Structure formats: C-alpha cells, structure tokens
Amino acid sequence: MIRLSNKKILLCITGGIAAYKTPELTRIFKKNGADVRIIMTESSKEFVAPLSLQAVSGNQIHYSLIDEEAELGMGHIELAKWADVILIAPCTAESISRLSQGRANDLMSAVILASDADLFIAPAMNVKMWGDKVTQKNVKTLKIKNVNFIGPDSGDQACGDVGEGRMSEPQDIAFAIAKSFSSSYLNGMRILITAGPTKEAIDPVRYLTNNSSGKMGYALAESAFLAGAQVDLVSGPVSINAYEGVNLHKINSADEMLEKIKTLINGIDIFIGCAAVADFKPTNYIDSKIKKTDENNMSINLTKNPDILKYASENMKDKIVIGFSAETDNIIENARLKLSKKDLDMIICNDVSDSSIGFDSDNNEVHIITKDYEKKLHKKSKIRIAKEILKNIEPLIN
Ligand code: PMT
C-alpha cells in the first residue's frame, strides 16, 4: 500500500528519455495524498512538457536559480526547507557526477545542497554508462552520504541495448518513497500522546480554548506509528484526521483528558504531552446561556486545571515522559524549569510568538532539552520535526 498523505515531495527531473514517465509518477504521488513540487533541468524539457507536469502536480514548475518571479513565490532555500523528501527521477550519469562533487550551479543541485530532507535517486542511463567505474565511484560517494538509490532496473533500453540502467517503474518508485517514512525502531513500544487544545466550557455556548491545531501531536502519532509503535492519541477538538492505525481518543476538556489518560496509562512505555492544555477552567459551569446585562464588565472565576503531564511523570516512574513547552519569552530557561519541576526525561520547546512556527503552522522549530544536552531542530515541516524528535527519544529507550 502506498500512503503518502500530507507528504511534501520535491521531484527533480533531469534530461533522460525516462522523463516521459514523470507525469505518471506525479499522478501516483498526488493520488496517494502527497503534495508535489517539481524542479526541471533545462535538458529535461526536451523529453517532457512542463505544462503537463504543471497540470498534473497543480503547482508551478521551478526551473532556474536566477528567476525573480519563482524566488518571490517560493525561493530555492524555502523549497529546500519545504520538502520532506527530494527525489531525482530520472537521474542521469551527469547529475550523479555533479551531485557527488557537491556542485551548486543550478537550481536542482543548489536546493539539494541546502536541504536536509532525505534524498532519493532513480538513475536512468545506458547500461555501459551505469556500469562505468567513475559512475559507480560517484554512486558510492553518494551512498556514503546516505543518499538512497531506487533501481536502476534491468531490461530493454530505449537505445536498443539490454541490461541495468532503466529507470524503475513509477509505482515502484512511489512505493520506495512511501516505505521510507516507516521503520521499526519503535517495534513493541506503546506510546501515549496528547494533542490539540482543550475546550473549557463557560456555559452551553461559550468556552475558553487556544489556537492549537493538533498538527504537531498528530505528526508525532503518525511518525511513532510508522516507526512500529502502538500509538494512543488523546486529542482535544481539532479539524484534522489521525493517521490510519493510530488509536484516537477524542476529548474536550482537561478533566476529560486526564480521565482518558488514567484509563490508558498502564503498560505505556513513552508518554508525550504535546497538547496545549488550558491551565485554567471556569470555576462554575453555568448550564444555561449567560444573559447580557446592562453592566459594562463581568468576571468569570477560574480554577486551575489538573496537570496531565505531571500526572504522567508521577505515575510512570521507570518509563519515558516527555513534555512540550510553549513560550514567548525566555523560552529555554522556562523550558528547563518545567523539565525539572515536572521531572521529565525531555522537553521540547517552541517559541509561540513566531506565527510561522508553533500554533497552527505546518512548520515548527524546536529545542530539544534533556538534563544532559540541548539541541536545536531548525525550521521544517512538523512531520520532519516529529521524526527527528522520535529519533532523539530512541537513545533513552533501554
Ligand atoms: O497543535 P499545533 O497547532 O501543531 O501547535 C503545537 C503546539 C505549539 C501546541 C505544541 O508544539 C506545544 O508547544 N504544546 C505544548 C503547549 C503547552 O501547553 O505548553 P505549556 O508550556 O503551557 O505546558 C507545558 C507542558 O505541560 C506541555 O507538555 C503541556 O501539554 C503540559 N500541561 C500543561 C498544563 C496542564 N494543565 N496539563 C499539562 O499536561
């Protein structure tokens, strides 16, 4: 099964006959939920029409490093940060050679150099070119840099030769990309994640809440599931869907969240508190709509909500408990305080004063803080941040 929902794929097309397969490849990515952006090299335009690719991807095609209009839309650095994965298909011997040298003299190579997204190459060339010692040395250099190769396949070639060098079929390429989002290092682990806001009712029509969209917590749940874990996700009201396979438990208020956590906590190996739990709730719920009066002011008494993360850390002594910290000032110092006060193994802090990250954004930028180290994860999609957070949790697992 190919599952690519919400994945951001940057497809780079270089000049080979197999480029004619890229509209089909793009169609498969799109059909399975991915967002696709495309870079075409100059020579690739001889093999496939940019307009077809624009139509099938639904996005403007990117060509040149020096293109004012494109830079104004999505500049090359932004494109590098946007991608969850970069795929070069077809990739010629010339492109493999240039990438192995770390060149950055066209849009494709510059974006790749500026990106830390996983890079996949689907080579396509003549059998002799693929077998050539220099090409193989370049492939080795790229593999050492963790570049992933899909194919090439063996068979009849467009030039009449037979052998290894054909680009893999679009379906197989899409499958390999989808598979790259899953792994098995959390096999057998049970993970409990909280996400989204809580909604604290004042009366039947009014409530206190915040701007959490659930995207960060849902991305963590998806990544943990794809890494092999059994995942329970306790979520406040949000408008996004949980990844198929994740056990979703919907709640409204902090009290309901705590009650749900109590029923799920036994046997949990890792708890991640990503929810933006309201710190306070109205002291008294008024069960009919509060009427407007002639008074200019009114006040509502608030009472502290239960601290769900603290409950988890107190009840999971020999397990891993991770919190998030949403701050606008002194973000590191405040996160450190929470780390020790709530006796956590790790805290992930984000600066919620920056509207391009944190609440309701597709991207985040966070600091991972433990008692022993601190690490910054630069701005990227929440799905990539989630993957990296989980990779940093792995060493904490005995
Ligand atoms: O949902 P998104 O739009 O994707 O946005 C993501 C996010 C900004 C909400 C997320 O990255 C984040 O920072 N979540 C934590 C928000 C928060 O409530 O931070 P806090 O610093 O107030 O709380 C610290 C920790 O205690 C958090 O793990 C929180 O879940 C937990 N907490 C807080 C209060 C409370 N009563 N119970 C809790 O468990």
220: in domain: yes
Q: Is the CB–ligand 1 distance for residue 254 below 6 Å?
A: yes
Q: Is the CB–ligand 1 distance for residue 214 below 6 Å?
A: yes
The answer to whether 362 and 213 have CB atoms below 8 angstroms apart is: no
Atom 27 of ligand 1: nearest residue by CA position:
324
Domain boundary among 133, 155, 182: 182
215 Cα nearest atom in ligand 1: 4
1: in domain: no
Whether residues 317 and 272 fall in one domain: yes
Domain boundary among 113, 148, 182: 182
Distance 279 CA to ligand 1 centre (A): 10
Active-site hit among 12, 91, 159, 274: 159
Ligand 1: which of 309, 360, 381 to mutate, judged by most atoms within 8 Å of the beta carbon? 309
244: in domain: yes
Whether residues 262 and 223 fall in one domain: yes
2: in domain: no
Side chain identity, residue 351: D
Distances in whole angstroms, Cα of residue 227 to Cα of each of 47, 81, 190, 192: 38, 23, 11, 14
CATH number at residue 78: 3.40.50.1950
CATH number at residue 333: 3.40.50.10300
Looking at the structure of the chain, the number of domains it has is: 2
The CA distance from 66 to 29, in Å, is 28
Would you mind telling me the total number of residues written for the chain in this entry? 398
Distance 148 CA to ligand 1 centre (A): 36
Whether residues 376 and 228 fall in one domain: yes
Domain boundary among 182, 203, 236: 182
Whether residues 178 and 194 fall in one domain: no
Whether residues 135 and 258 fall in one domain: no
Q: Is the CB–ligand 1 distance for residue 92 below 6 Å?
A: no
Whether residues 380 and 239 fall in one domain: yes
Whether residues 163 and 242 fall in one domain: no
Domain hosting 203: range is 190-288+296-396
119: in domain: yes
Ligand 1: which of 210, 308, 324 to mutate, judged by most atoms within 8 Å of the beta carbon? 324
Whether residues 273 and 135 fall in one domain: no
Whether residues 170 and 81 fall in one domain: yes
Whether residues 104 and 45 fall in one domain: yes
Distance 277 CA to ligand 1 centre (A): 6
Which residue, 370, 371, 369, 364, is CA-closest to 387? 364
- Helix ranges, 127-253 (H): 127-131, 133-144, 170-179, 215-226
Distance 337 CA to ligand 1 centre (A): 14
26: in domain: yes
159 a catalytic residue: yes
Whether residues 154 and 201 fall in one domain: no
210 Cα nearest atom in ligand 1: 9
164: in domain: yes
Side chain identity, residue 84: D
Residues 6+ apart with CB under 8 A from 99: 88, 109, 112, 121, 138, 142, 147
3: in domain: no
Whether residues 121 and 208 fall in one domain: no
Retrieve residue 85's tokens.
């994965």
Distance 197 CA to ligand 1 centre (A): 8
Q: Is the CB–ligand 1 distance for residue 307 below 6 Å?
A: yes
- pLDDT tens-place values along the chain, 398 residues long: 788 998 999 999 999 999 999 999 999 999 999 999 999 999 999 999 999 999 999 999 999 887 776 666 678 888 999 999 999 999 999 999 999 999 999 999 999 999 999 999 999 999 999 999 999 999 999 999 999 999 999 988 888 888 999 999 999 999 999 999 989 999 999 999 999 999 999 999 999 999 999 999 999 999 999 999 999 999 999 999 999 999 999 999 999 999 999 999 999 999 999 999 999 999 999 999 999 889 999 999 999 999 999 999 999 999 999 999 999 999 999 999 999 999 999 999 999 999 999 899 999 999 999 999 999 999 999 999 999 999 999 999 97
